[in-house]
């Protein structure tokens, strides 16, 4: 039996190799009696490398239909640069899961680095407000990630409603996300792509952080990182100004933008380019200088000729926001990342002393929706219940993650 591992990175290169050669070159890789290749030792390499992140391409012989028994794909629910997400039925667990099929374009490029990051990081995270990665499957030259299934995302939920959300719901969501970020940051992980589309909701009032494809593990001292992260509207000013060193503070800025958007029902800073995004921030918070942000004038993309705008009161841009919430938002939208408060510190604010879950069954009366009542009923039904009927062909088979270690088991299709 041959198992090929192709690794391309700044510091490690392994060409196609047999299992025996693989074990000799990588003592942390082993082959167990069930024809599973246990690959370890690469998680740290994936986390620590820069833009030349390791690209691992696992090449197995094609699987046969007889082993494709575990999941039944029902419908496509999303599509991105690197793959498609399906709503699928887990036959063994008897529940829905979200199945992300990753495109593996060629043996040369291998599995996208975003997928490797997501696998590497999510295996080490276990929190009620972070999406749960159930399985990792490599079959028929495709990589599948099986996640717990949630009914919708915050972007859709905002777009569905034309009225304002109840303040208690907003507080509950932000409180949960702060807890998720505190957990990530405690584990030295910065998400780097917080936006409503990556926040998933269920009918019990839970919100969960998802899509760790751009996330990075960080260390001390901080390394130079790319600034091509975070969707533009939620991008922190230090990234927009070209800083090569940043950390968890970028997530707090993004969450602050989402916090404001939940009250406004539209983004706080809707730039259409990096410079437009900067100027929209400056017009609201004032043009930063060395007094409010020491070192800002030394950042690569700072220009002395930037217009000089005076800071405005944030409450003027979010008229329906609680007075008690404004100081919390200001802590998140502080220019200087060293002064921007951490998730842990913000959680101690008295604003969050009472932040109960708000279930979907409570929302129909609480949200002032102007849409057709049938649409409202359908929206709430989506959050409250799930269909049990599926009529689809089998899609793939499971290969379990070993929860007791940082390793990934990928089932070899040949017996």
Q: Which two tokens stand for residue 120?
A: 């590497």
Closest residue by Cα to residue 10 from 48, 49, 59: 49
19 falls within a domain? yes
121 falls within a domain? yes
Task: Tell me, yes or no, whether 15 and 93 share the same domain.
Answer: yes
Please, what is the end-to-end C-alpha distance for the chain in angstroms?
Answer: 9
- Looking at the chain, the whole-number percentage of residues with pLDDT higher than 90 is 42
The DSSP-derived string for 150-185 is: -SEEHHHHHHH-SSPPPHHHHHHHHHHHHHHHHHHH
167 falls within a domain? yes
Task: Tell me, yes or no, whether 116 and 187 share the same domain.
Answer: no
Average pLDDT for the chain: 73
Indicate the range of 45-54, 82-91, 302-311, 361-370 predicted with least confidence: 45-54
Average pLDDT, integer, range 267-275: 96
pLDDT confidence tier of residue 122, bands split at 50, 70 and 90? confident
pLDDT exceeds cutoff 60 at 10: no
Higher pLDDT pick, 7 / 74:
74
375 falls within a domain? no
384 falls within a domain? no
Task: Tell me, yes or no, whether 313 and 397 share the same domain.
Answer: no
Indicate the range of 137-146, 213-222, 367-376 predicted with least confidence: 367-376
Q: What pLDDT, on a 0 to 100 scale, did the predictor assign at position 105?
A: 65
Q: Is 272 a catalytic residue?
A: no
- Tokens 């070192």 sit at which residue? 295
Cβ atoms < 10 Å from Cβ of 276:
13
pLDDT exceeds cutoff 90 at 267: yes
Bridge partners of 89, per DSSP, are: 72, 96
pTM over 0.85, yes/no: no
pLDDT exceeds cutoff 80 at 81: no
pLDDT exceeds cutoff 90 at 297: yes
Burial class (CB in 10 A: 0-12, 13-18, 19+), 220: exposed
Cα–Cα distance measured from residue 290 to residue 283, given in angstroms and rounded to the nearest whole number: 17
Burial class (CB in 10 A: 0-12, 13-18, 19+), 387: exposed
Task: Tell me, yes or no, whether 165 and 248 share the same domain.
Answer: yes
Could you tell me the residue range of the domain that residue 135 belongs to?
A: 4-149+393-411
Task: Tell me, yes or no, whether 141 and 290 share the same domain.
Answer: no
pLDDT confidence tier of residue 215, bands split at 50, 70 and 90? low
Q: Which of 135, 151, 153, 193 is catalytic?
A: 193
Q: Which two tokens stand for residue 284?
A: 């609201």
Task: Tell me, yes or no, whether 310 and 168 share the same domain.
Answer: yes
398 falls within a domain? yes
Task: Tell me, yes or no, whether 107 and 221 share the same domain.
Answer: no
CB of 117 within 8 A of CB of 213?
yes
Number of domains within the chain: 2
Cβ atoms < 10 Å from Cβ of 111:
22
Cα–Cα distance measured from residue 356 to residue 334, given in angstroms and rounded to the nearest whole number: 27
Average pLDDT, integer, range 71-75: 87
Higher pLDDT pick, 192 / 271:
271
Task: Tell me, yes or no, whether 136 and 178 share the same domain.
Answer: no
CATH number reported for the structural domain that contains residue 73 in this entry: 3.30.200.20
Q: What pLDDT, on a 0 to 100 scale, did the predictor assign at position 9?
A: 30
Backbone angles phi, psi at 122, to 5 degrees: -65, -25
246 falls within a domain? yes
Task: Tell me, yes or no, whether 94 and 211 share the same domain.
Answer: no
pLDDT exceeds cutoff 80 at 134: yes
Average pLDDT, integer, range 188-215: 87
CATH number reported for the structural domain that contains residue 208 in this entry: 1.10.510.10
Higher pLDDT pick, 202 / 379:
202
pLDDT confidence tier of residue 233, bands split at 50, 70 and 90? very high
Task: Tell me, yes or no, whether 52 and 126 share the same domain.
Answer: yes
24 labeled binding residue? no
pLDDT exceeds cutoff 50 at 398: no
Closest residue by Cα to residue 191 from 102, 134, 254, 269: 254
- Looking at the chain, the whole-number percentage of residues with pLDDT higher than 70 is 63
Closest residue by Cα to residue 170 from 321, 313, 323, 379: 321
383 falls within a domain? no
Average pLDDT, integer, range 320-344: 97
pLDDT exceeds cutoff 70 at 385: no
Task: Tell me, yes or no, whether 134 and 162 share the same domain.
Answer: no
Q: What pLDDT, on a 0 to 100 scale, did the predictor assign at position 124?
A: 78
Q: Tens of pLDDT along 335-362? A: 999 999 999 999 999 999 999 888 876 6
| Contact residues for 220 (Cβ-Cβ < 8 A; gap 6+) | none
Task: Tell me, yes or no, whether 290 and 400 share the same domain.
Answer: no
Q: What pLDDT, on a 0 to 100 scale, did the predictor assign at position 376?
A: 52
pLDDT exceeds cutoff 60 at 386: no
Q: What pLDDT, on a 0 to 100 scale, did the predictor assign at position 380?
A: 58
Q: Which two tokens stand for residue 209?
A: 């952080």
Burial class (CB in 10 A: 0-12, 13-18, 19+), 25: middle
Q: What pLDDT, on a 0 to 100 scale, did the predictor assign at position 365?
A: 54
Average pLDDT, integer, range 301-310: 96
């Amino acid at each position: 039996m041959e198992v090929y591992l192709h690794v391309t990175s700044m510091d490690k290169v392994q060409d196609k190799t047999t299992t025996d050669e693989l074990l000799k070159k990588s003592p942390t890789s082993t082959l167990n009696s069930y024809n599973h290749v246990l690959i370890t030792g690469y998680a740290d390499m994936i986390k620590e490398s820069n833009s030349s992140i390791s690209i691992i391409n696992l090449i197995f012989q094609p699987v046969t239909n007889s082993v494709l028994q575990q999941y039944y794909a029902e419908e496509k629910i999303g599509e991105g640069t690197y793959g498609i997400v399906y709503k699928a039925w887990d036959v063994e667990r008897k529940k829905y899961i979200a199945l992300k099929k990753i495109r593996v374009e060629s043996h040369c490029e291998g599995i996208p680095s975003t997928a490797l990051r997501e696998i590497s990081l999510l295996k080490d995270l276990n929190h009620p407000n972070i999406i749960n990665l159930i399985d990792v499957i490599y079959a028929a030259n495709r990589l599948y990630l099986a996640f717990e299934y949630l009914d919708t995302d915050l972007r859709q939920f905002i777009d569905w409603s034309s009225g304002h959300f109840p303040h208690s719901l907003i507080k509950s969501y932000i409180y949960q996300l702060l807890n998720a970020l505190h957990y990530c940051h405690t584990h030295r992980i910065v998400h780097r792509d917080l936006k409503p589309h990556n926040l998933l909701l269920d009918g019990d009032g839970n919100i969960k952080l998802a899509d760790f494809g751009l996330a990075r593990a960080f260390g001390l001292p901080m390394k130079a990182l790319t600034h091509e992260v975070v969707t533009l509207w939620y991008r922190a000013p230090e990234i927009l100004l070209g800083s090569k060193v940043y950390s968890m503070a970028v997530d707090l800025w993004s969450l602050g933008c989402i916090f404001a958007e939940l009250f406004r029902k539209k983004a706080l800073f809707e730039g259409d380019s990096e410079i437009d995004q900067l100027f929209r921030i400056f017009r609201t918070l004032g043009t930063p200088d060395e007094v409010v942000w020491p070192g800002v004038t030394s950042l690569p993309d700072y220009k002395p000729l930037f217009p000089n705008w005076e800071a405005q009161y944030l409450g003027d841009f979010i008229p329906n926001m609680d007075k008690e919430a404004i100081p919390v938002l200001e802590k998140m939208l502080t220019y200087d990342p060293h002064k921007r408060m951490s998730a842990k510190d913000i959680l101690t604010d008295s604003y969050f002393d009472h932040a109960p879950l708000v279930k979907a069954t409570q929302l129909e009366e609480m949200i002032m929706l102007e849409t057709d009542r049938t649409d409202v009923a359908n929206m709430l039904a989506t959050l409250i219940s799930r269909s049990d009927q599926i009529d689809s062909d089998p899609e793939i088979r499971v290969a379990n993650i070993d929860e007791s270690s940082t390793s990934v088991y990928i089932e070899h299709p040949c017996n």
